[in-house]
Amino acid sequence: MDYLLNKFTSTGPKKLKIAVIGQSNFAADVLELLLSDGHEVVGVFTIPDKGSREDILAVTAKNYEIPVFKFPVWRKKGVAIPDVLEKYKSVGANLNVLPFCSQFIPMEVIDGAAHGSICYHPSILPRHRGASAISWTLIEGDQIGGFSIFWADDGLDTGPILLQKEVSVEDSDTLDTIYKRFLYPEGVSSMGEAVRMVAAGTAPKIKQTEDGATYDAPMFKEENQIINLNQTAKGIFNFVRGLDSVPGAIAYAINEDKEEVMIRLFGAQLFNGPVPEGQPLQMKGLKKPALVTEAGLLITGTDGKIVNIQRVKKGSKMISSSKWFDQSSGQVTLELTDAEKTIETSLKAIWESILKVDITDDTDFFACGAGSMDVVRLIEEVKDAYDVTLENETLFMAPTFQEFFTQVILVSRQGSSSGQINVEFEGFVLKANKREIPIPTQLFVNGKFIDAENGRTLDIINPATEEVLCKVALASKNDVDKAVKAAYDAFKGSWAQVSARQRGHLMFKLADLMEQHKEELATIEAVDSGAVYTLALKTHVGMSIDVWRYFAGWTDKIEGSTIPVNPARPNNVLTFTKREPIGVVGLITPWNYPLMMLSWKMAACIAAGNTVVIKPAQVCPLTALKFAELAVKAGFPAGVINVTAGTGSITGQAIADHALVRKLGFTGSTPIGKKIMASCAESNIKKCSLELGGKSPLVIFSDCDLEKAVRLGMSAVFFNKGENCIAAGRIFVEDKIHDEFVRRVLKDLKTMTIGDPLNRSTAHGPQNHKAHMDKLIEYCDIGVKEGAKLVAGGKRVPGIKGYFFQPTVFIEVEDHMYIAQEESFGPVMVVSKFSGSNPEDIIKRANNTEFGLASGIFTKDISKALLFAEQIEAGTVFVNTYNKTDVAAPFGGFKQSGFGKDLGKEALNEYLKTKCVTIEF
């Protein structure tokens, strides 16, 4: 080992006069580090401007008033140019530092400084000598990478070693990742370390061995970038990642005319698992065609293993390889606010400062000569200027200014309430309630409205007129698979990049849009489901808006806990829990409150950080589809919310069975709930929550406020046409007031207006669909046959079109009767007497059912009320009120009414999983 002579005094190392020779951000950071160490940088030598674009090293040097020299070449025909050499000598450097240098520097300069020249090289020399060392580290599949700082000589990276550092090369590493995580930050600090060693006289000169030396081809030459596809999958994978993210491995696709089309490959992954369906793509050098799938472009190596290519560049356009056969542009256009127009202007200025060219909408970032560090600079400047966090990949997928600007605005809207997005879809215009409302009728998958497989549709009937409103796309099993995979990709990708607080902003934005469109949404609910418009406005839509705002407030308050545990001394232990989203959630919602049931479940689900595939009710999916349009306008990333209209047996079953769905939330009948639960268990033991049938008891004691009991008792039964999961299915009235209670109910029924749900005076609209109305007629017939006394209604409203069913009252109902045991889910009041002498007896009768969703009691005796609340087997208990739900109060049943909670803080638990972490120290 040969050491430099220590030319410094015994007082310590002297500061050096340094010439920095190189380019790029790396060299600029080294320059600033040397200055901070107290050295004098006497001159900076860098490359000439590209057009009006000055290298960042030159810009940094000028900021410190350091002389800058820009030479296109240093020598001609191997001989140093005298003028160039003279300018170099004029600065009087005693050490040359070459942090990142792409030019050939003559030996007169290399040896022109008293302490010589030190150079950074991104490999463990002597392996991978040459200009493309990082790429070859990956292409050759090296498990160890790193960098060397060596003393420059007249060879190609052959000088003595001063300093080397190593790093393990991970399977997931690309040129970009290994550079950012190790070669750049460690390299900068190590250049400073090396200069300090030179200044101290302790810098070694270790002669390079020739053992294991390689001289690799430069990858900046296009002919060297062509990939050999006739090799193993690992070889293909390594070559692609070695050129990722710039310039990309070159391959040739064969088009329909048998012409070779040059493309570049990016984002390689070794693929495991079953091969999905896809379309074949002929590629030069492949005996077996590649396969374009939803997962990506699958290429089979000579060993039979598969590489997945995520992105493909054709010309200047980067696309997801899964979209090779569908390269159309997106379906959204932006309407800019004044503030966003200002962003457009300032963003153009950022592009101009980096590219040094005039920027138009079609300006391509990479076609202007930008490199990987320019990408980093742009992403960082956007983050600083607009508080918008993007991935480097965003620019590769949107390389033109207009495409990139669109992405900046879409992400910025996740944290604001500004801007408009127009959404393209096929649908129809609902002309009702003095409005013209455009409504989508396609499936909503991965941020776009699309047709169902084979164009299948189902008819949607207006229950008030029995006429076909429209035809809505009918999702197949394959359609559900597309939606689930889109949700899965979003959960792992774009949605994971959205912070908890940004989720809250998105949800608030969505709630604001629902508020702006509430009259439209209520009109759709009235026409599609038969809900009375005024009720739809207040409850169906109003409570939906409330629930989105409520859970928006929870997004950044989902916390784990720190748990004191018993450590094994002398060690200490830290144990804490994390609350994490489950993943893809399937939701299946009923037809009685289409938008509200969607919101009750989805708002908690989204707040917790999950993505969603929802199947709305087959008979009334229109508000769910209109909601999807609003979700796009709110700025939700593609794939986060997916709406697959269809049947329960096909669409719903496909969601329940899908292996990527990890949680299923269902509201519906108990028999279907049992099938859902079985499917959850058999598919992948997915978590499920079930809100099922009810036969909720309402007990009215004689000491109640009778006027209030009649009014709220009728509401408990007839609210929303009786299509209400917590409807009072059994009313127990104390014998002392039974007859008066019934008399008042029958009197008030005569004043109830039945008719068009859009009419503001209507109190009772049509039942949701014909099959349900027929079921109600059968239900009442059974009641009569079993001996209950029908005192009102029991049949279809005569003389008018539509599924209108008369409000119905049965008295003298005994507990064993069918109508006392089974839910009608319609406007049927079932009244039974009881004696008030023994309150516990009536509680037993109220509990004599397999259902346990809700319950109610009217009494002025607080003891009776508390006894009832304590002993009743129901998830909700109302005292001297009914139907009074709130978004902050948990809602859910016991027994065969299901399990799990909607609403309130507890609802978040349905969509979270708990991870326990233990650290010993």
Rounded Cα distance, 881 and 137, in Å = 73
Tokens 């005192």 sit at which residue? 791
Task: Assign 602 to helix, strand or coil.
Answer: helix
Residue 21 CA, distance from chain mean position: 45
Residue among 294, 297, 269, 272 nearest 282 (CA):
297
Give the contacts of 430 (CB within 8 A, at least 6 positions apart).
436, 437, 438, 439, 469, 523, 524, 527, 622
Residue 353, by phi and psi: left (phi above 0), alpha (psi -120 to 50) or beta? alpha
DSSP letter (8 states) at residue 882: -
CB-CB contact of 775 with 783 (8 Å): no
Residue 291, beta-bridge partner list: 280, 298
Q: How far apart are CA 428 and CA 438, in angstroms?
A: 6
Annotated catalytic residue 691: yes
Amino acid identity for residue 696 in this structure: S
Question: In sequence order, which residues have a C-beta less than 8 Å from that of residue 802 and are 6 or more positions away?
Answer: 463, 464, 465, 466, 766
Parallel, antiparallel or unpaired: strands 249-254 and 260-271 = antiparallel
Q: Residue 470: which H helix or E strand, with range?
A: strand 467-473
Q: Which of 340, 629, 691, 910 is catalytic?
A: 691
As to burial, measured by CB atoms within 10 angstroms (0-12 exposed, 13-18 middle, 19+ buried), residue 33 is middle
Catalytically annotated residue among 470, 605, 725, 780? 725
266: exposed, middle or buried (C-beta count within 10 Å: 0-12, 13-18, 19+)? buried
Q: Using DSSP, state whether 628 is helix, strand or coil.
A: helix
Phi and psi, residue 50, nearest 5°: -95, 100
Buried/exposed code over 277-286 (b: 16+ C-beta within 10 A; e: otherwise):
ebeebebeeb
What is the CA 564 to chain-centroid distance, rounded?
34
Nearest alpha-carbon partner for 592 in 781, 829, 792, 765: 765
Phi, psi (degrees; rounded to nearest 5) at 852: -160, 50
Residue of 409, 405, 408 whose CA lies nearest to 420: 409
d(CA 453, CA 443): 10
First to last CA, the chain: 41
Cβ contacts of residue 411 below 8 Å, gap of 6+?
388, 389, 390, 635
Contact 897, 847 (CB under 8 A): no
579 neighbors 559 (Cβ within 8 angstroms): yes
* Phi and psi torsions of 920, nearest 5°: -100, 135
Question: Following DSSP, what letter does each residue of 406-422 receive, concatenated?
Answer: HHHHHHHGGG-S--EEE
Residue 121 catalytic? yes
SS3 201: coil
> Do 118 and 22 touch, CB atoms closer than 8 A?
no
What is the side-by-side order of every strand in the sheet holding 161-168? Answer: 68-70, 40-46, 17-21, 95-98, 117-121, 144-151, 161-168
Q: Sign of dihedral through CA atoms 284, 285, 289, 293?
A: negative
User: Does the bond joining 570 to the residue before it have cis omega, within 30 degrees of 0?
Assistant: yes
Contact 498, 506 (CB under 8 A): yes
Determine which one of 39, 115, 121, 658 is catalytic: 121
Helix (H, G, I), strand (E, B) or coil at 226: strand
C-alpha distances (whole Å) from 887 to each of 261, 542, 550, 608, 897 are 57, 11, 7, 16, 20
Residues with a catalytic annotation lie at: 121, 691, 725
